[in-house]
Structure 1
Amino acid sequence: MDIKQVRCFLEVCSQLSFSRASQKLHLSQSALSKIIQSMEEELGIKLFDRSTRHLYITDEGKAIIPYARKLLLKMEDFMKVASEQYQTTTGHVKFGLPPVIGSSFFPSVIAQFRKAYPGIELEIVEEGSRIVEQKLLDGQLDVGVAILPLDKEKFEVKPIIERKLKLVLPNHHRFALQEAVNLNDLKDEEFLMFSRGFSLYDRVRDACIQAGFEPIVVQESSQWDFMIKMVSVGNGICVLPETVCEHVHLYNCTAVDLIEPVIEWNLALIRRKDSYLFSAMKTWMEFVSVSLKNQQENT
């Protein structure tokens, strides 16, 4: 059995269609069918039921899916090790980056890295922190940034940034002139929140519950600038990272400290615990750590 067979099997399971899977894999449908058939013959079991108009995964096929996923990850790591040239000047790194974190800290870091290491292809995948974590576990990313705390049994974690969240209000709001606001004082306010794929959704909601109330969420979004604009026209309030809050005055809004509780926003570079740390990935992670440390020292 080879890596191509395993990848094809998992794609057919995902799509439940040979035609859709063949398109995703850039194979002809007949070629894909032959690959699956040879895999079935090799294993001595039927993986799919093709006897009806719809494609079904057999019980035997379902039983091996989790093992096939693990095997694919191991095979991909093996290929990386086998092709490793023990140099840091070439390679391909898939990097998961939540949009808010990306816009706050990474534009200059990415530009400087690409200039310093033109032979390393850095592929940026923008997703919320929770999705970045899942894609790392699924082997779709090599390294990513996520919000602490994290499951250290699943991830290698390297803290890189310590910040906090602030309350964003329209300038005419009753709390806009205060230096700090107790979170419990916001129990009757309408909140604009990051979408549920973002750790910030959980972080803000959990803090509100800790303060004694369930937040009234009137809108979810993946875009911090959209939320600020909504706040500026009186459509609720929002809680954002302090780095983003540097821009709120441009929208006739004010950023105020939150207390009781203070909501921390601490970030880390993460990779899957059992993944192979190939040289291009190691180079990128070290570059990020040094660059962000320098950023913090200069602010």
Structure 2
Amino acid sequence: MDHNNLTLADIRAVATLLETRSFRSAAGMLGLSPSALSRQVSGLEERLGVRLFDRDTRNVYPTASGEAFGRVAHRMLHAVEDGMAEFDAHVSARQGRLVIAGLPSVTAGLLPQLIRDFSAAHPGIDLRILDALSGSVLDAVESGAADLGFAAGTVSTRSRLDFLPLMDDAFVAIGHPEGPLAEDRAYGWAEIVDMPFIAMAAGTSVRELLDGACLRIGTALSPRFEVSHLATAGALVSAGLGVTALPTLTLPVLDM
């Protein structure tokens, strides 16, 4: 009995023939002619030294040896499929595309160093960064437009998403060196929001957190300016038009 010349094509041929009980049907599924499949099975039987199938003009019947070989064939095919799935996962980890959605403060302040390290370790992965507000970050991940996202503040529970806290960030007050925050001392939150205040627009995670902080001290935020971009807030502060309060992660983004 010659096992050395057994091929994956032989194993698939037997498994398919057992399933269809027809050379014509099995050959069609395997992309062969019926005569080519018949020769392949006959050659396998000769190498194994046993008859796997009994044939007549219309039908194919597995012998006891054919049934036994079929059970082995199915186990081998499943092992091959599992092995290829494992290999595909390995290749996918080295090649492909990763889409990251994140707040502008995160994509500019936190991700560059992480992306540099990741790209060095995985040069075959193409990275795409989506800058978005917190709600849009969640929408992008939930819809599949992004593979993962970085948001801030309190996120609503979404059944299709998993959330993992990564870090805590502190807010800092920012003002012109000759402005309302010029004194070298600690300032209270109630005192800061009473100054000409430059706030991020409603709907941003920063604004959500600041409004919550105001509610906790029994006041409301009444900004002098509302802006949508961090660079704009930084430019207004630099011009001496007011103060703002932002997470430290946003500081590299400010145009000051």
Q: TM-score, with normalisation over the residues of structure 2? A: 0.58
Equivalent residue number for residue 197 of structure 2: 191
Partner SS state of residue 158, structure 1: coil
Code of the residue aligned with 1:85 in structure 2: it is: D
Contact 2:198 2:225 in 1 (8 A): yes
Alpha-carbon distance in structure 2 between the residues aligned to 1:241 and 1:152: 23
Equivalent residue number for residue 8 of structure 2: none
Partner SS state of residue 169, structure 2: strand
Contact 1:194 1:200 in 2 (8 A): yes
Higher strand residue share: 1
Correspondent of 1:181 among 184, 187, 204:
187
How many residues align structurally? 169
Structure 1 stretches lacking a partner, 5+ long: 1-81, 252-299
Equivalent residue number for residue 237 of structure 2: 231
Alpha-carbon distance in structure 2 between the residues aligned to 1:136 and 1:219: 31
Equivalent residue number for residue 117 of structure 1: 122
Quote how far apart the aligned CAs of 1:98 are. 1.1
Alpha-carbon distance in structure 2 between the residues aligned to 1:111 and 1:197: 30
CA RMSD of aligned residues (A): 2.6
Alpha-carbon distance in structure 2 between the residues aligned to 1:143 and 1:247: 22
Contact 1:189 1:216 in 2 (8 A): no
Equivalent residue number for residue 98 of structure 1: 103
Contact 1:97 1:124 in 2 (8 A): yes
Equivalent residue number for residue 157 of structure 1: 163
Equivalent residue number for residue 285 of structure 1: none
Partner SS state of residue 163, structure 1: coil
Equivalent residue number for residue 137 of structure 1: 142
Equivalent residue number for residue 128 of structure 1: 133
More relative contact order, 1 or 2 (CA 8 Å, 6+ apart): 1
Equivalent residue number for residue 46 of structure 2: none
Contact 2:97 2:125 in 1 (8 A): yes
Contact 1:190 1:215 in 2 (8 A): no
Contact 2:99 2:148 in 1 (8 A): yes
Quote how far apart the aligned CAs of 1:153 are. 4.7
Partner SS state of residue 213, structure 1: coil
Contact 2:107 2:129 in 1 (8 A): no
Equivalent residue number for residue 207 of structure 2: 201
Alignment of structure 1 residues 25-174 onto 2, 5 Å: 85-87=88-90, 88-154=93-159, 155-174=161-180
Quote how far apart the aligned CAs of 1:129 are. 1.6
Equivalent residue number for residue 214 of structure 1: 220
Quote how far apart the aligned CAs of 1:245 are. 4.0
Change (3 A) 1:162 1:95: same
Quote how far apart the aligned CAs of 1:247 are. 8.4
Contact 2:109 2:251 in 1 (8 A): no
Alpha-carbon distance in structure 1 between the residues aligned to 2:241 and 2:113: 33
Deviations 1:231-265 (A, max 9, x none): 122212111112444787x94xxxxxxxxxxxxxx
Equivalent residue number for residue 247 of structure 2: 241
Structure number, greater radius of gyration: 2
Partner SS state of residue 95, structure 1: strand
Alpha-carbon distance in structure 2 between the residues aligned to 1:89 and 1:137: 24
Partner SS state of residue 92, structure 1: strand
Structure 2 stretches lacking a partner, 5+ long: 1-84
Contact 2:109 2:252 in 1 (8 A): no
Q: TM-score, with normalisation over the residues of structure 1? A: 0.50
Alpha-carbon distance in structure 2 between the residues aligned to 1:176 and 1:246: 21
Change (3 A) 1:243 1:147: closer
Deviations 1:98-117 (A, max 9, x none): 11112211112112212221
